[in-house]
Structure 1
């Protein structure tokens, strides 16, 4: 009896094992072909993405002492292959080397050069990097090698524009309240840079009796002039400062056949002030509104912008300048169609990979509520206040005057939070403010002459990395302190 009991127990065990196997693999017979369908657990297990995801995390985990970053496309180095398990199956894999912030060096960016000048020249918006590191999982993107290989999207008979991205941009403007996108056409470009000249092309009459005059108010973003001059079109040319062409001072040769396109940058780069057109509206005057900085990070939002042609860029919204994505909101269909013609002939649309990454980033921005804008505004406001406090103790330097304004986004009065400090050298002998800051303070800015202003001005960036700003603040504080010491010593001599 005991023998038979063991026999039945064995059969029961075999039956359980067989049922488990059958539960894991379902046999499907179709037209003589046999396929095996895996269990839900096996279907959910990642396959080709695992190694790619691990590679990305390995590189992101490389320690650069908090003063630099390693990137997937960085230069490979034998000094950074210290990660445990990196590139599974490869002995001592080569990993990208650290790319150090300004003034830091060494294989892990741990060494600092105290003689290094503070570089406040570029507008790289790295100040938003901590936000994206906090949202590492939701902002990451991994695509197959065969993702959207065609020139166009596969809907609406082929288009260059992602409809999902278009919808998210409209939702973004509605949430922030910085632009009215209702009833307007959207065009994508490689940053705002490509869209600026596309706008000039779209607004300029074909074969006019005289070239359309392109103007901007000093100080203005230098690309307006340099790009217009570069394309050297017979249909338009750079004319200079807008104030020269006000209705009150138009030259006697002015006539209605003279066409104008005015660039209005609001908030302005470099001084952060909200701007309005200088030229009066009329059939011969068209306006391009560059709203690259019209976000809660950099300014109060008094009302939604609702102009006929508005340009925005991802770089100053999320900080992803390298993605090269911008968009234009256009009211007139004829202007829109000329935009599309320009983009088709110029670049055949914006990279589909860029559009996918932008969509992913906007989902994070919209999904996190006000978090990005709270963080961005808090950072730029704090930096402005810190620098303003230092320079307010100086009689040699001064900053642009900005006042608190009511923001419909934050529903209160917000303190100034510009992207740049527009510094003026007040001493008569400091005719070249750029040279004065570099020579006496070890500070690299961007000369006012680049913005077609006086050399007594220089722009300092407040939106680079924390390392960059901290070193700028320290350098400026030392320069102002040196000025105060000289004043005290001079008074003692007297």
Structure 2
């Protein structure tokens, strides 16, 4: 009896020892927020110490709030310290000098308005990459795409309630740019029995990349036609069509639907701006092929990462074949950074980035609209309030761009009118529209946006009969 009790006691002690070791390992490797991570004893860093210290040192450079320094930036006279890269219209070693005659540059779609969000989330979004990180072309399963990243993409869409991913494939690309042509290529193979190439169309005004890229990579399988109204009235042209539908549209922010129908008509939905910060989400997109980009979700345009949600397996496989042929896959460092960013996006209830960015874009649209409303010379596009699936209420507009129209009959080049007032926009003809229109970006830094508003106030104030601003 005594020996049995002693054996039982030993078994209990062994079990408790195993459990204690599991808890200790878990404390090292597991974070309380559901993400696995390495927790070093006493917080001691090894090989990453110098890299972390350098990143912290550069981030600590203030640049007077009108500039920023980067690890890969120009080095100062001491041969060590990176110099401040000043925002547009600012100069000086610490970027504290405002240039009085500077133009307001509202041309680029650089989504730098999100920089402050990432400064606030510096710790959770930081990435330290080892010199030996994923040196192979592929992952252990021979895939060129990170499964963890795909899982987080699906989670982000579930939180944003802007796309259905269940039962669909996801393919990565070098930004949405590459995926647009990969989609054209894959869809053009779906009706290979046709004697004529597929006609690629997009309703005016449309994003110029569709035309530029389709013509640059044009093959016997497809060619760019232009606006759907230009299609000939023969059966093949009316049916063998690939249509780009940008929703919300770049440049005017309107939600769009396909124009072309027919048994062989295929649609590529460019959903780059279909996020709660740029538009109301009436319903989760449930389409055969939709393209998204991290650029307009997190603001990281320079990372060059996008993804397509694809329903049909053969289309998915042909898009993957395109990516493999063009790039042999997507940079593993890019996928790692995208994963880190999306982990930050989904932390907590996952609403943080959307609340931050929507409030900022809504505020910018309201302030811009208030200025233009005082004008009899210019108008903006109209975007009606709409029900949003994410916010679960009717919400007002917060578009990425202002689509400005010059009303005076003689002012047929609106870009030139604005440039004379020291405002740089993107001409309507770039979007195959009239030059009476010009696109102004609302996506850049606060300094850029404030400069744009200042120049617009000056321009509106000199109109005959305009109210004093």
Q: Same fold (TM over 0.5)?
A: yes
Superposed CA offset, 1:122-163 (max 9, x none): 000000111000001111111211111111111x2x110100
2:11 match: none
Contact kept? 2:194, 2:236, Cα under 8 Å: no
- Residue of structure 2 aligned with 1:200, choices 184, 199, 213: 184
SS of corresponding position for 2:65: coil
**What are structure 2's unaligned runs of at least 5 residues?**
1-38
* d(CA) in 2 for partners of 1:229, 1:244: 16
Superposed CA offset, 1:228-266 (max 9, x none): 111121111110102334xxxx52x33478510000000
* d(CA) in 1 for partners of 2:380, 2:133: 49
Contact kept? 2:401, 2:443, Cα under 8 Å: yes
Corresponding position: 1:288 with 2:268: yes
1:12 match: none
Contact kept? 1:445, 1:460, Cα under 8 Å: yes
TM-superposed CA distance for 1:415, in Å, is: 1.0
Contact kept? 1:256, 1:284, Cα under 8 Å: no
- Residue of structure 1 aligned with 2:369, choices 361, 367, 388: 388
TM-superposed CA distance for 1:283, in Å, is: 2.4
Corresponding position: 1:224 with 2:199: no
- Written as runs of structure 1 = structure 2, the 5 A alignment for 1:326-475 is 326-368=306-348, 369-439=350-420, 441-475=421-455
* d(CA) in 2 for partners of 1:420, 1:315: 15
TM-superposed CA distance for 1:50, in Å, is: 1.1
TM-superposed CA distance for 1:42, in Å, is: 6.3
After superposition, the CA RMSD in angstroms is: 1.7
SS of corresponding position for 1:96: coil
- TM-score, normalised by the number of residues in structure 2: 0.88
Corresponding position: 1:127 with 2:108: no
Superposed CA offset, 1:57-88 (max 9, x none): 1111112111111101001112xxxxxxxxxx
* d(CA) in 1 for partners of 2:230, 2:81: 57
**What are structure 1's unaligned runs of at least 5 residues?**
1-39, 79-91, 489-494
- Residue of structure 2 aligned with 1:174, choices 158, 161, 167: 158
Superposed CA offset, 1:401-429 (max 9, x none): 01111101001111100000000000011
Contact kept? 2:291, 2:307, Cα under 8 Å: yes
1:235 match: 221
Change over 3 Å in CA distance of 1:231–1:41 after alignment to 2: closer
TM-superposed CA distance for 1:185, in Å, is: 0.5
* d(CA) in 2 for partners of 1:132, 1:55: 18
Superposed CA offset, 1:296-351 (max 9, x none): 01000110000100000000000000000000000001101101110110001110
Change over 3 Å in CA distance of 1:483–1:55 after alignment to 2: same
Superposed CA offset, 1:416-466 (max 9, x none): 000000000000111100000111x21000000000000100000001000
Change over 3 Å in CA distance of 1:135–1:44 after alignment to 2: closer
TM-superposed CA distance for 1:219, in Å, is: 0.3
Moved over 6 A (4+): 40-43
- Residue of structure 2 aligned with 1:259, choices 234, 240, 249: 240
2:27 match: none
- Residue of structure 2 aligned with 1:298, choices 275, 278, 297: 278
- TM-score, normalised by the number of residues in structure 1: 0.84
* d(CA) in 1 for partners of 2:395, 2:238: 44
Contact kept? 1:209, 1:257, Cα under 8 Å: no
SS of corresponding position for 1:289: strand
2:73 match: 74
1:491 match: none
* d(CA) in 1 for partners of 2:122, 2:153: 21
Contact kept? 1:424, 1:433, Cα under 8 Å: yes
TM-superposed CA distance for 1:107, in Å, is: 1.4
